[in-house]
Amino acid sequence: MKIQRQKGAATLELLIAFAILVLNITAVILILNGGQSIYVDSETNTEAIAMAEELLEDARADAELDFNLVYPTSGTETSGPLTYTKTLSVTQTDLFTKEVTSTVSWPAEGGRNLIVEFTTLFTNPEAVDGGDTCSSVLSGDWTSPTKDEYEFGADILGDTSSGFPITSIQTFNEKMYVTVNNTHGNNDETFFILDISEPGSMPAPLGKLDNSGTISEGLNAVAVDGESYAYVANAYDSSPDDCTEADNCAQLQVIDMSNPASPYVARNFKINSITTGNKLANGTSVFYKDGIMYLGLARATSGREFYILDVGGGGGGGSPTSPIILSSVEIGNGINTIFVRDNYAYIASPNTQELKIFNVTNPGSPTPAGNFNSGTGAGNGKSLYLVGSKLYLGKTVPNAGNDFHILNNLNPNIYLPELGGMNSASSINGILVREYLAFLITSNGQFQTWRVDNPSSISEYASPLTLPPGSGGGLQGTAADCEENYVYVGSQSSNDKGYISIITGS
């Protein structure tokens, strides 16, 4: 009996030992498999981190070239057996800042989904002093945009008098600056400051002025240097002998806005360029950048049309109230639009060359650079917009070939190659570009939306919106600007009634 009990104990011990051995072998296998999984995860994680960092660096490079190039993107990248999903998310946190997040995700063993994510902030210091505050990040459904419209006089100003035909709009930092030019109505004021801090609501008047109490003509264009001064192009074409520095008839007027409720003309700056009939060539366009004012005039028969003035940053000792002419250039025709980026000034005019470009690295001595003239040789350069290396040009003569052109501006010193274009069947008085969409303001009273991310295949993205007061003789869209996700459009009818439309994604 004792021997049998010893044999039973030995058998039990063998079974226990075998069970322990099996458990140990299983544990070793699990450790080996787990180690292999950890190694694979670490390898793919390192690869994903590199991709996410590259996404941010590419976005940073785009921001340095043009803040408007930073917008959401998505795509995939295959490496070995894995496909990584790459996403760049962009949120406009304020008018001058974007929060950018790069995300890379990929499938792992066991049905797991792994992810790497980095977030940073990009700022736009160039826009702080009167620059572009339009968000390049589209929000809402722009296949069906919404429109709120207001008669400028009756609704916004509470003035039912005829007139207030809007010629120019600039939005900046929750304010809208509007100019009107009225030779037929009976309104007095020609420059207005409006509050747009609640963009979904009707703009509220803050201040206004009459740029000249002795004439009916008003203003053609406005540019601001932030919230201190507005520079306006005067539409009055008086005799040079009748216009002195003390009169409000000079082509460039400087408006002090330190008190928005009570703006006033702080300086009249007359330029002796003469047009037909011995009249001053009136002001037609303005652009402000870094303490320099770029002024365009109507066609001059004696004198020049393009002027560069120091108003506080051109090194010539000028100031906003004491501008100093640094240089001038004969264009050969009137100037419809000026756009300045980096060291180049882009000029659209009714010229043989619809677009002329000047190198303004030295504002005291601008030099001719590139140019463009459409293949048909017809049409007048009217509107401009520049994003990255793409320059968008609108013309004023419809049905003469394309009236909308997308140009390759990678080298502004050459004749710009055309990437694509189309015929909108109307003169294009204004252009805004956001992400993959171009918004066109046309002379037949439409707000058109086109998809332009493939310039060789431009397509209509949304049905055109009819600007107020609706179809009718003389109706036309005249001006536009954008702040955040809202586009502000000026239009007018044949009876000189002006209107403001606020358009955004539905």
The domain total for the chain is 2
Q: What is the mean pLDDT of residues 46-71?
A: 95
In-domain check, residue 132? no
CATH of residue 93's domain is 3.30.1300
Integer Cα distance of 324 and 440 in angstroms: 35
Q: For residues 315 and 167, state if they share a domain.
A: yes
For the beta sheet containing 204-209, the strands, ordered from the edge strand earlier in sequence to the opposite edge, are 166-172, 175-180, 191-195, 204-209
Q: What tokens appear for 79 in the block?
A: 């490496």
The pLDDT of residue 247 is: 66
Q: Strand 418-422 vs strand 324-329: parallel, antiparallel, or unpaired?
A: unpaired
pLDDT-derived band at 148, boundaries 50, 70, 90: very high
Integer Cα distance of 291 and 131 in angstroms: 12
The pLDDT of residue 144 is: 97
Spatial CB neighbours of 292, under 8 Å, sequence gap ≥ 6: 308, 309, 310, 311, 313, 314, 326, 363
**Contact indicator for 196, 203 with CB cutoff of 8 Å:** yes
Q: What is the mean pLDDT of residues 219-226?
A: 96
Q: What is the mean pLDDT of residues 435-448?
A: 95
The pLDDT of residue 36 is: 45
Q: For residues 172 and 87, state if they share a domain.
A: no
**Contact indicator for 294, 287 with CB cutoff of 8 Å:** yes
pLDDT-derived band at 397, boundaries 50, 70, 90: confident
Query: What is residue 191's three-state secondary structure?
Result: strand
Strands (E) located in 7-80: 73-79
Burial class (CB in 10 A: 0-12, 13-18, 19+), 220: buried
In-domain check, residue 7? no
The pLDDT of residue 119 is: 96
| pLDDT tens-digit readout, 179-221 | 998 766 566 889 999 999 998 899 999 999 998 877 778 899 9
Residue 289, Cα to own-chain centre: how many angstroms? 15
Q: What tokens appear for 351 in the block?
A: 């010229």
Q: Which amino acid is at 164?
A: F
Integer Cα distance of 307 and 297 in angstroms: 8
Q: What tokens appear for 118 in the block?
A: 């980095």
Q: For residues 422 and 362, state if they share a domain.
A: yes
Residue 35 has pLDDT above 80, yes or no: no
Residue 33 has pLDDT above 50, yes or no: no
Residue 444 has pLDDT above 50, yes or no: yes
Q: Which amino acid is at 376?
A: T
The pLDDT of residue 405 is: 95
Spatial CB neighbours of 336, under 8 Å, sequence gap ≥ 6: 284, 285, 296, 348, 349, 350, 380, 381, 382, 383, 396
Q: For residues 414 and 493, state if they share a domain.
A: yes
In-domain check, residue 72? yes
pLDDT-derived band at 8, boundaries 50, 70, 90: low
In-domain check, residue 371? yes
Mean pLDDT of the chain: 88
Q: For residues 162 and 192, state if they share a domain.
A: yes
This prediction's pTM:
0.89
> Taken in order 53, 57, 60, 66, is the CA torsion positive or negative?
negative
Q: For residues 66 and 191, state if they share a domain.
A: no
Integer Cα distance of 324 and 269 in angstroms: 9
Parent domain of 310: 146-504
Integer Cα distance of 225 and 228 in angstroms: 7
> Taken in order 137, 96, 483, 418, is the CA torsion positive or negative?
negative
In-domain check, residue 428? yes
Q: For residues 82 and 171, state if they share a domain.
A: no
User: Nearest CA to 465 among 421, 503, 424?
Assistant: 503
Q: For residues 117 and 162, state if they share a domain.
A: no
Q: Which amino acid is at 90?
A: V
In-domain check, residue 309? yes
Residue 87 has pLDDT above 60, yes or no: yes
Q: What is the mean pLDDT of residues 210-237?
A: 89
If phi > 0 it is left, if psi is from -120 to 50 it is alpha, else beta; for residue 225 that is: alpha
In-domain check, residue 28? no
The pLDDT of residue 396 is: 86
Q: Which amino acid is at 42?
A: S
The pLDDT of residue 23 is: 46
Integer Cα distance of 331 and 299 in angstroms: 8
CATH of residue 384's domain is 2.130.10.10
Using only C-alpha atoms, the chain has a radius of gyration, in whole angstroms, of 31
Q: For residues 313 and 436, state if they share a domain.
A: yes
> Which of the residue ranges 341-350, 362-371, 390-399 would you say has the lowest mean pLDDT?
390-399
Q: For residues 94 and 156, state if they share a domain.
A: no
Integer Cα distance of 184 and 315 in angstroms: 42
Which CB contacts under 8 angstroms, 24+ apart, belong to 264-272? 264/209, 265/209, 265/211, 266/229, 266/320, 266/321, 267/320, 267/321, 267/322, 267/323, 269/245, 269/309, 269/323, 270/240, 270/243, 270/244, 270/245, 271/295, 271/297, 271/303, 271/307, 271/325, 272/240, 272/303
Share of the chain above pLDDT 70, in %: 87
| pLDDT tens-digit readout, 285-343 | 999 999 999 999 999 999 999 999 999 988 889 999 999 999 999 999 999 999 999 99
Q: Which amino acid is at 280?
A: L
The pLDDT of residue 334 is: 95
Burial class (CB in 10 A: 0-12, 13-18, 19+), 258: exposed
Residue 318, Cα to own-chain centre: how many angstroms? 29
Q: Which amino acid is at 197?
A: S
Boundary residue ending a domain (97, 126, 155): 126
Q: For residues 113 and 226, state if they share a domain.
A: no
Q: For residues 346 and 483, state if they share a domain.
A: yes
Integer Cα distance of 428 and 443 in angstroms: 6
Q: What tokens appear for 426 in the block?
A: 């109307």
Q: What is the chain's length?
A: 506
In-domain check, residue 246? yes
